[in-house]
Amino acid sequence: MAYNFAKNFGIKNAPTWCPGCGNFAIQIAMKNALTSEGFNPNNTVFVFDVGCSGNGADKIEAHTVHGLHGRAISLAAGAAIANPKMKVVASSGDGATFSEGPGHLIHAIRNNYPMFFMLHNNENYGLTTGQASALTPKGAKMNATPDGVYLEPINSLQFVLSLNPSFVARTFSGDIAHMTAVFKEAVKHDGFAFVEILQTCPTYNKATPEAWYKERIKKIEDLKDYDSSDIWAARKLAEDMEKDIYLGIFYKDSSRENFLKMIPNRKNTKTVLVEEVKKHSVSSFL
């Protein structure tokens, strides 16, 4: 597919990521997916967290917000609620999502807000020079844990799948084609689309470098008879974080209504909130 940088979300400022950082490929795949699904900088809103993923905020031409650490999901949810005609994409790292603000993730899944959420999982806090996150493998020697991480990591997909989500996928920053395909599905999903990106961090993540992933990665599409509407199959498949690490659409339930469609008083409303700001008489409430 021909890619037009100038029109399709562009790239204006010089990237500030380390050579070999997964963020380069992630942004390319994200731009590809959105463009091929018919989105452009005027109908897309990106909400960025703080951290290395957040430093993508001024590397993309579109409506962008660079918010607070751990809160991108909530700001994005507020944006998506106000104007669902725009595609809202939020990005956060593993530190933001599983330490600073896991409450937002839990409730965004439960509310099924109409947005696409990308978990940039590089298994560490890169921008603060490589501290362990809750997803760093046990034993990894990190900044501030020189003797090695002594806690078991959280299994992100197991956690998300336990919350009755409507869309859960995983992809890998070393495979642009796979990322693009997964992002396209996530963009199309009418609800909270959770996509974990296993992201290489050549500077700080020495425990699971690109080669480590490549040895272990398997694709769900190669599994015969895998049923992505079976949440128990998804939960089973997500268990293994060491040997066979699967990529693809783990779980999808398109029958679920998104947050806006669930609100009883807005069932028949045709307008969106940004179109409704005007004076209202209150005499009928007195």
Partner 1 sequence: MDRVRIKIAGQSGSGLLSVGEIISSAINYLGYNIVTDREYPSLIKGGHSCFTINVSDKPIFSLSEGADVLVAIDKISMNAYLETLSKGGVLIHGGEDFAKDGINIARMNTKEVALASGGTAIMQNMVLTGMVWKVLGFDFEKIEKEVKTRFKKVTKEILDANIECVKRGYEGVETAQGIWNFEAKKTDNVLIDGSRAVALGAVACGVRAYYGYPMSPSSGILTYLAEINGKTDMIVKQAEDEITASQMALGSMYMGTRALVATSGGGYDLMTETVSLAGIMENPLVILIGQRPGPGTGLPTWTAQGDLDLAIHSSHGEFPRVVIGLSDIEDSFELVGEAFNFTEKYQTPVILLSEKTILESKISVDRKFFDREIKIERGLTEGKNHEEPKRGDRYKLTDSGISPRWIPGDGNEYYFANGDEHFENGDDTEKAEEIHLIYEKRMKKMVAIKENLPAPEIFGVEKNADISFVGWGSSKNAMRDVIETYAEKGVKVNYLHYSFVWPLQENAVKDFFKNNKNVNLIEGNYLGQFGNIVESQTGVKFKNRLLKFDGRAFFIEDIIKFIDKNGI
Write out the residues near partner 1 by the rule CB under 8 A: 12-13, 41-43, 45, 47, 50, 57-58, 61-68, 71, 74-83, 85-86, 101, 103-104, 106-107, 263, 265-266, 269, 273-274, 276-286
CA distance 167 to 149: 31
64 vs 180 by CB, closer to partner 1: 64
Print the SS3 string covering the chain. Answer: CCCCCCCCCCCCCCCCCCCCCHHHHHHHHHHHHHHHCCCCCCCEEEEECCCCCHHHHHHCCCEEEECCCCCHHHHHHHHHHHCCCCEEEEEEEHHHHHHHCHHHHHHHHHHCCCEEEEEEECCEECCCCCEECCCCCCCCCEECECCCCCCCCCCHHHHHHCCCCCEEEEEECCCHHHHHHHHHHHHHCCCEEEEEEECCCCCCCCCCCHHHHHHHEEEHHHCCCCCCCCHHHHHHHCCCCCCCEEEEEEEECCCCCCHHHHCHHHCCCCCCHHHCCCCCCCHHHC
Query: Of the two residues 33 and 115, which places its CB atom closer to partner 1 in the complex?
Result: 115
Minimum CB separation of residue 155 from partner 1 in Å reads 22
CB of 262 to partner 1, least distance (A): 11
Question: Shortest gap between Cβ of 120 and partner 1 (angstroms)?
Answer: 17
Nearer to partner 1, 13 or 254 (CB): 13
Q: Do strands 115-121 and 124-125 pair parallel, antiparallel, or not at all (unpaired)? A: unpaired
**Distance in Å, CB of 169 to partner 1, minimum:** 24
Q: How far is the CB of 69 from partner 1 (least distance, A)?
A: 9
**Of 92 and 171, which CB lies nearer to partner 1 in the complex structure?**
92
Which C-beta is closer to partner 1: that of 105 or that of 245? 105
Cβ at position 72, least distance to partner 1 in Å: 9
**Least distance from partner 1 to the Cβ atom of residue 284, Å:** 7
Looking only at the bridges linking them, the beta strands covering 167-172 and 131-132 are unpaired
